[in-house]
Chains A and B, each alone.
Chain A
């Protein structure tokens, strides 16, 4: 079942979750313009295709799920030479942070979103499985493999 949402509801949803959607897209795509495209497309779907949400967390999970799908699609659909280096497109940050950001963004695509959703958004494995539409064991394995590939210290990682 779908619902029609008002301008105010759209604005509220964007204010609440727009940044999270954009950051997920950035983690996956690494490019501001591409992440903006995905964010815009995601909220268009909220506008025209939103299901009835049981609560705000449900709405956020749905938005991230749609964004993740669009990212995967986008990744294969981009005009492929349109790639710039990450350093050119994000605000200036300290070297350690940039190194960490680059490390996650350089992961193979199957590991980036589980890592981002787990360590940045703080989702549980079960929730990540729902968002990314994969089995829990697959999420666990991708988190494990992603951690191994990152070779990043995970202290303070809950």
Chain B
């Protein structure tokens, strides 16, 4: 099977002749177009997902109240290693004392004494979890972990790390579906490391999957998410799973959340006593519900806030929601402006913190507001950047920095930092020409230029943890993989 089979198959698919007749009939009868009211559900969902990701630690910080944040560009440029120009080992001193065979080629450097960069050239793909490289061997069916090796990088070597790997059996029946599988985990330096085997049970349909999600600052319990269906009938329900005992707890049982149809996305307050639950609403679009575990209540967000069905929300803290509404273009349903409110759940008080800001659309009007949970980056038409605390409305000007086409921000796991990078559109891969971090707590923004990024095909960039950014790359022939770690 290859992609040409897909092309040939798709060539067989054509609409019926009746469809053309139906469309042309609409024209000749001048039937008025009925607008779809709940449009852009996907963008709304994306915003909500982003909100979910960044909710936990995005409480507004007093540090943000400063009005100015200064941008500092490191003068020293990073020299990106890779084929054919530079070998990592040429940059720094050669490796000594190989701790184990087939040691990857590792080098490191400092950029402007502010950023530590580590280059790992390897003949195989390593995983990365919690600052440890790993090499996992799974059984053919993907359900059983056969071997696992972990290493940390010290100087220019990989040093093996012994971990106390535990196994938990997932075996739970929910709504007539039996979810089975193995979960592997260990705790190191107060951090829970999770590795999940294939979720498919012997008697489950492939789409009936389970997955797990760590709970911030907890190493004894995690969220076990039980899914049914796929795409049009996808539904998810969370339970607590206690690692030591293997017991599950239906902690939403008393709230009525189980009765929600097609619930598929949950975001949690920091103390996990409240949840925002996103549901598909049958023929019309989306419904969002606020679930209160202590009060055992479940209420639709539009009813709670009185703001209509287009409102979406995320948690700023345990008692505060950030509500977002938008206007859309009549032409193609893109968001035009967004307005945000801080909503105090106990009192119902609503405070507007962003008013009809132009929504950032890089493809035609690359300025305006980008939402990152309870914070927002506001890019002016002149490229000036302001950070907005959507709980307080406080705006902080970023001095000395001008937003350019190709620039992007990405929030860290805690939401307290933003990764900044700029992609060279002429490059084959991501082509990251500039890299930096905005520390929202410290009020700093540092970045540096990269040279030689075209030596590698850069495939991915992201946060490994709240202080480390990683770039995955490969050589042009695909034979050699690189992992580049930046510690800010």
Contacts and interface: CB of A to CB of B under 8 A. Distances in A.
Interface in A80-108: 80-83, 90-91, 93-94, 96-101, 103-104, 106
B430 interface: yes
Given A81-B233, A157-B3, A90 B12 contact: yes
A14, A18, A77, A120 — which one has the most chain B CB atoms within 10 A of its CB? A77
A153 B3 contact: yes
A7 B28 contact: yes
Given A49-B330, A66-B333, A75 B232 contact: yes
B218 interface: no
Contacts of B32: 48
B156 interface: no
A144 B24 CA distance: 39
B430 A22 contact: no
A62 interface: yes
A119 interface: yes
Contact of A93 (B8, B286, B429): B8
Contacts of B262: 80
A141 B460 contact: yes
Interface string A1-45: 010000100110010001100110011011010011001110111
Interface stretch (B33-41, B146-154, B303-311, B314-322): B33-41
Contacts of A62: 332
Nearest to B280: A76
B408 to A, nearest CB: 6
A48 B461 CA distance: 42
Q: Chain B contact residues (Cβ within 8 angstroms of A): what range?
A: 35 or more
Interface in B276-318: 280-286
Given A45-B33, A126-B425, A133-B363, A109 B231 contact: yes
A99 B40 contact: no
Interface residues of A, number: 76
B1 A120 contact: no
A46 B41 CA distance: 21
Contacts, number: 193
A152 B2 contact: yes
B2 A155 contact: yes
A98 B42 contact: no
B251 interface: no
A80 B7 contact: no
A70 B42 CA distance: 10
Given A36-B15, A39-B19, A100-B1, A137 B332 contact: no
A86 B20 CA distance: 23
Contacts of B406: 136
Nearest to A35: B15
A74 to B, nearest CB: 9
B10 A156 contact: no
Contacts of B231: 30, 75, 109
A104 B232 contact: no
B244 interface: no
A133 B334 CA distance: 8
Interface string A115-158: 01001100000100110010111001100100000001111110
B283 to A, nearest CB: 6
A97 B9 contact: yes
In order of increasing CB-CB distance, the 3 nearest A-B pairs are A100-B5, A72-B42, A97-B9
Given A65-B332, A73-B39, A99-B1, 18 more contacts: A18-B23, A23-B14, A47-B26, A69-B39, A77-B38, A77-B280, A77-B281, A93-B12, A100-B3, A119-B7, A120-B7, A126-B425, A137-B430, A140-B429, A141-B460, A154-B3, A155-B4, A157-B2
12 contacts: A10-B27, A11-B20, A14-B20, A14-B23, A18-B23, A19-B14, A76-B280, A90-B9, A93-B12, A100-B2, A137-B461, A156-B2
